Amino acid sequence: MSLSRRNFLAISGAVASVGALAACGTGASAGQKGDGTIQFWSNHPGKSQAVEQQIIDAWNAANPKTPAKLVDGGANYEELGQKFNAALAGGQLPDVIVASDVTWFNFALNKATTPLDDLWTKAGVKADTYVDTLREDYAYNGKHYGMPYARSTNLVYLNTELMQKAGLGSSGPTTWAQFAEWAPKLKEANGGKPALVIPDGKNYLDWYFQGMVWTFGGSYSKDWTPTFTSAETIAAGQFLQDQVKAGNIAISNDAVNQFATGGAAGLLESTGSLTGLTKSAKSPFFTAYLPGPKPGAATGGAGLGIPAGISDERKLNAVKFVDFLTNTANTVKFTQATGYMPVRKDALDDAAEKQFLAQNPNAMTAIRQVNENTKSQDAARVFVPGGGTRIGAALDRITTGKEDVKTVFQQLQDDTQKVVDRDIKPLI
């Protein structure tokens, strides 16, 4: 069978531990009581620190007996995960953490975060008001270990003026083959600069490339079997390398700025960059789906988890806080400030959101795409320990490093299989 997220979670209940994140379990003494303040560890996805603090201020005004404090958890999801691991090994645990599409599962698998379903009932949280697909992304072994927060897909951003100058209209390419046909025209329209810029392997190229692989008929894995050496996956890697060699695609450690300043006609980036780009881009742009055939994009972003090693009282307060942080009004506020997708079903009925989307049609692209052009990610990236980092490094080797695709992907295949054999197979 193919490994959908639900199929995987159904068969993985026997897994007890993985030698990766949170390998030492809860570490700290069970039932930590804390100091009465809800400690919220965030990496501020989408440069959201200011809006996070606004929402927290509103919570504190309404809940003075259980105030929340915003704590800087690191510059990205990985740094926050490392900080949480340190706390698990014997430090003071937070009450709420941001957990990414990659980190949440390892935390749940190792019982570092707590199942939320019973807490939802006790706190009166209406879990069915979350967008079903986003809520179920955090399901494992019949329980949920996260609540949707900064959820995203990836988009193509295209410079409106350069698209018109190249005679390509106001719609994105429908396939990657069509992009390759368009690229020389876009380069010419922009003085020879790349047609598209994509973040490098240290900035989630492994996430962006995943959709491209699917459109070539490939994948990172099938069930627990890596598929980096399949003909289709290698073809996708070769296409990416060829486009980089031709100057059609640039790989950058600051792709957003390169596009914003006119250094490329197009950008492949998260929806979470939309609001910032709207403010910083020197030229008008529009957003488009990733090229197909469908599905051409992966869901992503982060949810919110609650540590297992804190007291029941802290857990209950934490889930109430998360419910507030992600309620309809606040998910509208948060997503308008960042570009992420609203996580509550009724957000699109909100008057302020309707007005915002009417005035900002670029924001609607991701909302439509999540239902039309996405699927859940392959296990080799999000469930196999270290998958994203391992894949990203390999993609850097074939793009900026110009190494042979088959050789690099064979090593990636072998390295991934070793991790599966060592950390996964003995436990299922």
pLDDT for residue 426: 84
Pairing between β-strand 297-305 and β-strand 374-375 as defined by DSSP bridges: parallel
The class (CATH top level) of 6-151+300-375 is alpha beta
Contacts of 397 (CB under 8 A, 6+ apart): 403, 408
| Pair of tokens at residue 9 | 């979670």
The CA distance from 423 to 411, in Å, is 18
Distance CA 196, CA 364 (A): 22
- DSSP codes of every residue in 141-192: TTEE--EEEEEEEEEEEEEHHHHHHTT-TTS--SBHHHHHHHHHHHHHHTTT
Q: Are 141 and 9 in contact (CB under 8 A)?
A: yes
**Which residues in the chain are classed under CATH 3.40.190.10?**
6-151+300-375, 153-298+377-427
Determine how many CB atoms are found less than 10 A away from the CB of residue 62.
Answer: 9
Per-residue pLDDT, averaged over 329-348, amounts to 96
Q: What is the mean pLDDT of residues 300-304?
A: 95
CA dihedral 289, 291, 295, 296 (to 10 degrees): -90
Of the candidate ranges 5-14, 37-46, 385-394, the one whose mean pLDDT is the lowest: 5-14
Structure tokens at 96: 């709420």
CB 160 within 8 A of CB 284: yes
Q: What are the residues facing 98 on neighbouring strands?
A: 304
Q: Which residues contact 299 (CB under 8 A, 6 or more apart)?
A: 101, 133, 134, 137, 151, 152, 153, 370, 374, 375, 376, 377
Q: What is the pLDDT of residue 428?
A: 65
Please, which residues have CB within 8 angstroms of residue 121's CB and are 6 or more apart in sequence? none
Rounded Cα distance between 20 and 424, Å, is 11
The single residue listed with the structure tokens 């064979």 is 410
**pLDDT at 18 > cutoff 90:** no
Q: Which of 98, 146, 99, 100 is nearest to 120 (CA)?
A: 146
pLDDT higher than 60, residue 39: yes
Residue type, 184: P
Whether the per-residue pLDDT at 427 is higher than 80: the answer is no
**Token pair listed for 122:** 């006790």
Query: What is the amino acid identity at position 312?
Result: D
Query: 304 has which bridge partners?
Result: 98, 147
**pLDDT tens-digit map of 193-229:** 999 999 999 999 999 999 999 999 999 999 899 999 9
- Count the Cβ atoms, other than its own, within 10 Å of residue 254: 14
Q: Which band of pLDDT confidence, cut at 50, 70 and 90, is reported for residue 181?
A: very high
What's the confidence (pLDDT) of residue 15?
Answer: 40
Q: CB–CB of 356/278 below 8 Å?
A: no
- The verdict on domain 153-298+377-427 having CATH code 3.40.190.10 is yes
pLDDT digits (tens, 9 = 90+) for 229-285: 999 999 999 999 999 999 999 999 999 999 999 999 999 999 999 999 999 999 999
Q: Please check whether residue 266 is in contact with residue 163, taking contact to mean a CB–CB distance below 8 angstroms.
A: no
Q: In the structure, what pLDDT confidence band is assigned to residue 30 with cuts at 50, 70 and 90?
A: low
Q: How many CA atoms lie within 13 A of 167 on its CB side?
A: 4
